Amino acid sequence: MARAWAVGAAAAVFAFLLYESALAWVSTTEADLLIPLFLLLSYVGIGTASGHAAVSLSGDTRRAWPAVVVVATVGALLLGWGHDAEQLHPALAALPAALGGGACTAVGGWLGLVLPNVHRAAAPASVLAQLKTVELRAGRAGSSASPTGRHHQRGAPAPEPADGPDILEFGAP
């Protein structure tokens, strides 16, 4: 879980840099709706990236949630009560702006956690070794029918390995 907290902290720094960029953009142009919407959409992207990276580094969705919590909290605090935040939402109070920023970041983070992640192998070997694995093997197709119409199994079932993956057999009994 420490990797997820680190990913969340790095994403929070990136969220802060985007916030500062949006403030600089507002100070050079007239305040309009485009800049806050761009920032909210960027926060969705930051949430998604942090959730995806945390799953990649921790190897499991259940260990990756702290990254999303950190970045969503920082996004909400920045948009609601960050310095000069009222420039980004002049017609909106601080609490609704904070809720909007946190919600957009959290939705993005949720997407990053639940979308398929083919990069889970980026997790260190020590993390991957702790995960439960399952091996799929085809079932025995060599069973035959007796003259009475009942099926019987040839041979005893294979013994389970003492310290290995769970084996799920499928196919004809």
Which tens digit of pLDDT belongs to each residue from 41-75? 999 999 999 998 988 888 778 888 999 999 999 99
Residue 134 confidence (pLDDT) above 90: no
Asked whether 25 and 35 are in contact (CB, 8 A), the reply is: yes
Contacts of 75 (CB under 8 A, 6+ apart): 12, 15, 43, 46, 47, 101, 102, 104, 105
Contacts of 60 (CB under 8 A, 6+ apart): 131
Per-residue confidence band for 92, with pLDDT thresholds at 50, 70 and 90 = confident
Per-residue confidence band for 110, with pLDDT thresholds at 50, 70 and 90 = very high
Tell me the average pLDDT across 97-103: 92
Spatial distance between the Cα atoms of 135 and 115, rounded to a whole number of angstroms: 23
Spatial distance between the Cα atoms of 2 and 68, rounded to a whole number of angstroms: 13
Identity of residue 147 = P
The DSSP result for 28-66, as a single string, is HS---SHHHHHHHHHHHHHHHHHHHHHHHHHSSHHHHHH
Contacts of 114 (CB under 8 A, 6+ apart): 61
Check residue 91 and give its pLDDT: 79
Asked whether 26 and 35 are in contact (CB, 8 A), the reply is: yes
Residue 100 confidence (pLDDT) above 80: yes
Spatial distance between the Cα atoms of 106 and 104, rounded to a whole number of angstroms: 6
Cα atoms found within 13 Å of the Cα of residue 8, Cβ hemisphere only: 23
